[in-house]
Amino acid sequence: MHLPHQRGPLHDLPDTPEAYDAVLADVTEQALARLTPEGSLEHPDCVDDIGDTSLGVTSLLALAWQRSGDPRLPEAVRRSVRFHLRERVYRRDNPGYPNLRIRDSGLPYARYTLAPGAHPVGDWPSTVWALLQAVNVTEAAAGLLDDGLRHELLQVAHGYWRWLTEATFFNPQEAANQAIGCVVGGLMLARQLPQPDGESVRARAMSLYEQEIRAHRVRDRGALLPPEHGGAYDNNYGPISLSFLAQAHRVSGEEVFARDGDALARYLDARLTNGGFDNGGPRYSEQHSGFESVLGLRYFGHRIGSDLGRYRGDTRWGRHAVKTDGGVDGHFAWMLVWQIQDTTRWHRGPAVGTARHQLRAGTVSVAFDDRMTPSLVEAGGTYWLPAAVARQHGFGPVTDGFLLCRPMGEVRVRDVRAGGLTAKLVTKPVVGRDHVLRYVRSLYVTDGTLLWTTVAVERLDGTPYLLAGLPYAEDDGDRVRRTARGEVASAGPLRLTHPRAEGPEHFDARGELTQEQAAFALAADPRGYGNPDEGWRHLVDSTALEAGPVPDTPEDLHVFAVRYGSSDPLTVSATRDGSGLVIRTAAFTAVLGGDDAHGEPELTLSAL
């Protein structure tokens, strides 16, 4: 089975002016055929996320008119704007809405669902989206809207801003993409309002960004990130936040948005595999955005000099939001408008230099979590997740059911490149059940095609093994397919085990349950509201690759060696001489030396 949302790299979608004109031409024909006598451009199947959708299609028609001059469009734009003002602007409080600070304010807002009291918690983001659609239309109004109609829509947009920032609590869902989107709406609105209203809105937008978004950033993998639904990063919404930061920088010129976007982009680059697969998040684990991410990935990929467009988006939404029949939906339409207006080109090559939380070369990559334990390993077109044993998750030595991967002290990292090889040495102080402090030294070496992992630790009792990952997915053309195996070899005994018990807390890679489905099943709250990252941490055990020790190593050490990307026999020797622990394979020799004057472990690498 294929993963439903992990599809083609977003930079593979044509983004020439001609390609975008073709997209807008298709939207035009769909919209003109759909336009009702009342002026609605909503998809007939739309129920949720509906409050901004007709106006979103209107904004696409306005852009299409600017680029094509199609004489059919001005009247359609005017009729659809009047529909929104007449039918989709609400001023009475939605029954049950929990986040009001001022009751009966009379300020306009948009509804997530039109029926009173039906899922009212979605009204805050829907109003952000309606604000963004409105300011896009009013910016394009010249020659389309008469002064009176434009003024009315602009006043509603100003009312949306006041409802979002005065009548309700700001960012009630703790969702950075929504909050930054609101700030962008304020910045765009401020450019169109007369003074002093314009400057007041701009100042308020910047204050909200500093005090309500930046001040609440969450640290993960060395980066400060805008929190997404209560977590540091979500692989669906994180790239959308990046797009909002790009637009904020484009419209305001404020350097703070560039700095924060650069930081988020570098973080995303480090966690993203070479093949563009990613998973994990506090709202969704495997659901990837499509066109909503293009602006940010392209804009900041160019700024940081990395190929962020390798991100595997959901290309069913590669151009705009669609319903199940493939018909256009105006939801998030501003992102298509902005990406067409922006002329940044994709940066196609990997970033120069090393990143602490990533090892990447050729078709191989390792993304590391905050503890410098691999969170995702890619080699030979297969993606490996951390395995689980006895409720402990990660990659590392296991003895008596205890996984040695949680650091008890500072984690040291050394990066080396030599002879076409790229390597990272990670040294962790760890404590086992016996309370003895040991150092786990994990060496990762790649030639761009294969990945060698060698782990050395002071000798362990019992029959230890290396927990070496959970095979989860593999490339299948432009899609990602589930798998329960991978090309791998070990210098010691090797086995692939599966849980004996059933249930989502016992994850068997051979089953049909996806990682995200299991994570939501284990989360405390319902799917879409629970935290899948938190739910996944309740996993008891999983399919796991287990590698036994390398034979004939120094008596005081256990050494484990695994190669990903090939199942050919693997021979590894580990000996000690005056320079340190010497690891020899058919491809390289590595010397894990002592600590330098700063306590950093030394690593020497030579290709054979």
pLDDT tens for 107-154 read 999 999 999 999 999 999 999 999 999 999 999 998 899 999 999 999
Of the pLDDT bands very low, low, confident and very high (cuts 50, 70, 90), residue 338 is very high
Give the list of residues 6+ apart from residue 170 with CB closer than 8 angstroms, or none: 164, 179, 182, 208, 212
Mean per-residue pLDDT, 39-63 = 97
Rounded to the nearest angstrom, the gap between the alpha carbon of residue 220 and the centroid of all alpha carbons in its chain is 13
Q: What pLDDT, on the 0 to 100 scale, is given for residue 230?
A: 80
Identify whether the C-beta of residue 288 lies closer than 8 Å to the C-beta of residue 308.
no
With H, G, I as helix, E, B as strand and everything else as coil, classify residue 205: helix
Rounded CA separation 466/241 (Å): 38
Of the pLDDT bands very low, low, confident and very high (cuts 50, 70, 90), residue 502 is very high
Could you report the per-residue pLDDT of 212-232, keeping only the tens digit for each? Answer: 999 999 999 999 999 998 888
Identify whether the C-beta of residue 350 lies closer than 8 Å to the C-beta of residue 305.
no
Q: How many CB atoms lie within 10 A of CB 210?
A: 12
Rounded CA separation 135/159 (Å): 12
Whether residue 259 is predicted with pLDDT greater than 90 in this model: the reply is yes
Percentage of the chain beyond pLDDT 90 is 97
Kindly state the helix (H) or strand (E) to which residue 437 belongs, with its residue range. Answer: strand 437-446
Rounded CA separation 90/107 (Å): 8
Whether residue 207 is predicted with pLDDT greater than 90 in this model: the reply is yes
- The three-point CA angle 3-390-559 to 5° equals 90
Closest Cα to residue 142, out of 206, 62, 76?
A: 62
Burial of 537 (0-12, 13-18, 19+ CB in 10 A): middle
Mean per-residue pLDDT, 332-360 = 97
Rounded to the nearest angstrom, the gap between the alpha carbon of residue 105 and the centroid of all alpha carbons in its chain is 37
Q: Which residues of 303-337 are buried (b: 16+ CB within 10 A; e: fewer)?
A: bbebbbbbbbbbbebbbbbbeeeeebbbbbbbbbb
With H, G, I as helix, E, B as strand and everything else as coil, classify residue 329: strand
Q: What pLDDT, on the 0 to 100 scale, is given for residue 231?
A: 86
Q: What pLDDT, on the 0 to 100 scale, is given for residue 242?
A: 98
Give the list of residues 6+ apart from residue 39 with CB closer than 8 angstroms, or none: 54, 79, 80, 81, 82, 83
Rounded CA separation 556/151 (Å): 79
Identify whether the C-beta of residue 224 lies closer than 8 Å to the C-beta of residue 213.
no
| Single pTM value for the model | 0.97
Tokens of 190: 């401020």
Q: What pLDDT, on the 0 to 100 scale, is given for residue 559?
A: 98
Of the pLDDT bands very low, low, confident and very high (cuts 50, 70, 90), residue 44 is very high
Q: What pLDDT, on the 0 to 100 scale, is given for residue 469?
A: 98
The dihedrals phi and psi of 280, each to the nearest 5 degrees, come to 110, 145
Closest Cα to residue 299, out of 257, 332, 360, 358?
A: 257
Could you report the per-residue pLDDT of 94-111, keeping only the tens digit for each? Answer: 999 999 999 999 999 999
Q: What pLDDT, on the 0 to 100 scale, is given for residue 555?
A: 95
Identify whether the C-beta of residue 561 lies closer than 8 Å to the C-beta of residue 491.
yes
- The three-point CA angle 431-437-442 to 5° equals 80
Percentage of the chain beyond pLDDT 70 is 100
Whether residue 486 is predicted with pLDDT greater than 90 in this model: the reply is yes
Q: What pLDDT, on the 0 to 100 scale, is given for residue 542?
A: 98
Rounded to the nearest angstrom, the gap between the alpha carbon of residue 592 and the centroid of all alpha carbons in its chain is 35
Residues composing the chain: 608
Burial of 114 (0-12, 13-18, 19+ CB in 10 A): middle
Q: Which has the higher per-residue pLDDT, 231 or 537? A: 537
Tokens of 467: 């927990």
Closest Cα to residue 235, out of 251, 220, 250?
A: 220
Closest Cα to residue 188, out of 168, 160, 167?
A: 160
Burial of 299 (0-12, 13-18, 19+ CB in 10 A): buried
Rounded CA separation 593/355 (Å): 22
Whether residue 529 is predicted with pLDDT greater than 90 in this model: the reply is no
Rounded CA separation 517/105 (Å): 41
Whether residue 449 is predicted with pLDDT greater than 90 in this model: the reply is yes
Q: How many CB atoms lie within 10 A of CB 296?
A: 29
Mean per-residue pLDDT, 520-546 = 94
Tokens of 276: 């563009």
Cα–Cα distances in angstroms (integers) from residue 138 to residues 108, 141, 191, 399, in the given order = 17, 5, 11, 65
Cα torsion through 398, 399, 400, 404, rounded to 10: -60
Could you report the per-residue pLDDT of 401-443, keeping only the tens digit for each? Answer: 999 999 999 999 999 999 999 999 999 999 999 999 999 999 9
Average pLDDT, the chain: 96
Q: How many CB atoms lie within 10 A of CB 578?
A: 5
Q: Which residues of 63-81 are buried (b: 16+ CB within 10 A; e: fewer)?
A: bbbeeeeeeebbebbbbbb
Whether residue 478 is predicted with pLDDT greater than 90 in this model: the reply is no
Mean per-residue pLDDT, 38-59 = 97
Tokens of 165: 């920032």
Q: Which has the higher per-residue pLDDT, 159 or 143? A: 159
With H, G, I as helix, E, B as strand and everything else as coil, classify residue 464: coil
Mean per-residue pLDDT, 230-238 = 90
Rounded CA separation 239/214 (Å): 17
